[in-house]
Amino acid sequence: MSFFKNIFSNSSEKGENTPKDTLTWIPLRSEDQLNEIVEKSKEKSVVIFKHSTTCSISGMVKNRLERSWDIPAETSEVYYLDLLSFRSISNKIAEVFGVIHESPQVLVIKEGKSVFDTSHYGITTDAIKESLV
């Protein structure tokens, strides 16, 4: 029985991993929030994830972020934008932060400016961590 338990149990049940920070999404639903993001980014980094709910690549990237996220919550806030419901906000993000719209896309905002943006398979927890330093 312990043979099957070792194969099928997850690593946290085996005690191999320490608990990691979980990704807590803040819904981005209004253009007014972009002003808040600019202000918050003067205190700590802000991450914006632009997600298309009908795109399989976007879904895979979102899932991968949620599974691998180990960035402490005190280092950044993470916003989630549903592109299909709030396309005008995506357009405003492009205008405010000077980036070309892509989907999926992640931006890291510091001191009111986008210091990092990438899309598709370039979106990884490690890439975001590197930009937070």
For the cut 70, the answer to whether the pLDDT of residue 13 exceeds it is no
Q: How confident is the model at residue 17 (pLDDT cuts 50, 70, 90)?
A: very low
Tokens encoding 49: 């994830």
Are 92 and 34 a contacting pair, CB within 8 Å? yes
Supply the pTM of this predicted model. Answer: 0.84
Cis amide linkage into residue 104, ω under 30° from 0: yes
Are 102 and 119 a contacting pair, CB within 8 Å? yes
For the cut 80, the answer to whether the pLDDT of residue 63 exceeds it is yes
pLDDT tens across 81-124, in order?
Answer: 999 999 999 999 999 999 999 999 999 999 999 999 999 999 99
pLDDT of residue 21: 75
| Residues forming a β-bridge with 87 | none
